[in-house]
Amino acid sequence: MRITSVTLYPFDIPLKAPIAISLGTIEHARNLLIEIRTDDGLVGWGEGSPFWMIVGETQASGLAAAQDMARLLLHRDPLDIEGCLAALVRYLPGHPTTRSAFDMALYDLAAKAANMPLYRFLGGAKRKLVTDETIYLNTPERMVEDAVRIQAQGAEAIKVKLGTNRRNDIRRVEAIRQAIGDETPIRTDANQGWDVVTAQAVLRTIGDWNVQYCEQPIGRGNIVGLRQIRQQSPVPIMADESLFDATDALRLVREEAVDYFNIKLSKSGGIFEALKINAIAEAAGIPCMIGCMSESRLALTANAHFASARQNVRFVDLDGCFEHAADPVLGGIVYDGYTITLPDTPGIGADIDPLFLKTLSPTVIA
């Protein structure tokens, strides 16, 4: 099997409303879509969601890099996933989100060639996955409204964005807890918004309020600070922006800096690197979460396959499409409330609606 063409698409999906985190606000999901075709007629799909404030990529920079990446893959064997990805890294280090879209398309092709759903191709089985839903930064009153709605819809956990200042963030969590009661766990995410002192103060205050963990309380490079917070925090600490690849995972383990890892395919460079991160975490006794940026159900389905295939993935945060005003995907995962059901068709099991595809502007590399 050989790759005969790669088609690149700017994959814009409108949002219901702007979403805000401590690092900034986004008003559209400006993603990347990759289509890889082979000489035996198989097609693989991949998607990346470049959050510039986290990964340092934009849709424009990703599409520019993807043209060179696509040329590198022409006429190669797509089943040589490691070789294909190594070629991309050698030529253009970095660009994890763009690389993740190619990685996803290659795994889609490989699982289709094996006539297996992706979770089985990865050596796993189908298991129950339940996602949380995220409340983005807003006034405490508006965030309470969202929390009450999400709880009423049957959520098993609610994720709350924080990372502004000590007083306001404590008010947000306190107001939500008072509104929804004590039973539904809250998962917090500061997106690097605090310093060490603020993080310690907030986490001490909310520590008895059934908070499952806090993601990335401080800047991504401050591993010593993460360890310091973890040693004193009543709330478990999860690495997100501090964890891009296996090298980061090893450092976090060595420094005993966190309790949990948040793996995101758009951040790690795709499934190939995510498997290494999870293996390191599992060996160190660190459970993982599978997270997302603002992907469509195409990439969310690939993320769910990965989570299903790896028992060490303890938490699921695959709610990115909940904020989308359009769903351009056929097939893929199905949400029954917050429970996720995976497809059993070969590969990822998701395709792009041909009508939506016609609205995009393709660049064909052949």
Classify residue 358 by its DSSP letter: T
- 148 and 278 part of one domain: yes
Which comes out higher in pLDDT, residue 24 or 61?
A: 61
Q: Which one is catalytic: 112, 159, 264, 267?
A: 264
- 83 and 18 part of one domain: yes
* Cα–Cα distance, 178 to 317 (Å, whole number): 23
- 142 and 71 part of one domain: no
Q: Are strands 3-21 and 313-316 parallel, antiparallel or unpaired?
A: unpaired
Q: Confirm whether residue 133 is marked as ligand binding.
A: no
Number of domains into which the chain is organized: 2
- 330 and 212 part of one domain: yes
- 302 and 206 part of one domain: yes
- 266 and 328 part of one domain: yes
- Look at phi and psi of residue 278 and say left if phi exceeds 0, alpha if psi is from -120 to 50, else beta: alpha
Using one digit for the tens of pLDDT, what is the confidence trace for 64-92?
A: 999 999 999 999 999 999 999 999 999 99
Q: Based on the number of CB atoms within 10 Å of its own CB, is 145 exposed (0-12), middle (13-18) or buried (19 or more)? A: middle
Q: Report which residue type is found at 314.
A: R
Using one digit for the tens of pLDDT, what is the confidence trace for 119-152?
A: 999 999 999 999 999 999 999 999 999 999 999 9
- 86 and 210 part of one domain: no
The sheet carrying 211-215 orders its strands as 133-135, 158-161, 186-189, 211-215, 237-239, 260-263, 288-290, 313-316
Q: Confirm whether residue 189 is marked as ligand binding.
A: yes
Using one digit for the tens of pLDDT, what is the confidence trace for 289-302?
A: 999 999 999 999 99
Q: Which one is catalytic: 112, 159, 161, 267?
A: 161
The answer to whether the beta carbons of residues 186 and 179 sit under 8 Å apart is no
Q: Based on the number of CB atoms within 10 Å of its own CB, is 288 exposed (0-12), middle (13-18) or buried (19 or more)? A: buried
% pLDDT > 70, the chain: 100
* Cα–Cα distance, 253 to 284 (Å, whole number): 7
Asked if residue 23 has pLDDT above 90, the reply is no
How many other C-beta atoms lie within 10 A of the C-beta of residue 356? 16
Residue 161 catalytic?
yes
Q: Confirm whether residue 35 is marked as ligand binding.
A: no
Asked if residue 339 has pLDDT above 90, the reply is yes
- 12 and 126 part of one domain: no
Using one digit for the tens of pLDDT, what is the confidence trace for 40-67?
A: 999 999 999 998 888 999 999 999 999 9
Q: What is the CATH number of the domain that holds 100?
A: 3.30.390.10
Assign 20 a pLDDT band (cuts: 50, 70, 90): confident
Q: Which residue has the tokens 């005993």?
A: 256
pLDDT at 251: 98
- 179 and 47 part of one domain: no
Q: What is the CATH number of the domain that holds 324?
A: 3.20.20.120
Residue 264 catalytic?
yes
Asked if residue 24 has pLDDT above 90, the reply is no
Q: Which residue has the tokens 């498997």?
A: 275
* Tokens describing residue 43: 């097609």
* Tokens describing residue 366: 């052949």
- 89 and 230 part of one domain: no
- 9 and 154 part of one domain: no
Domain of 73?
A: 3-115+355-365
pLDDT at 51: 86
- 347 and 359 part of one domain: no
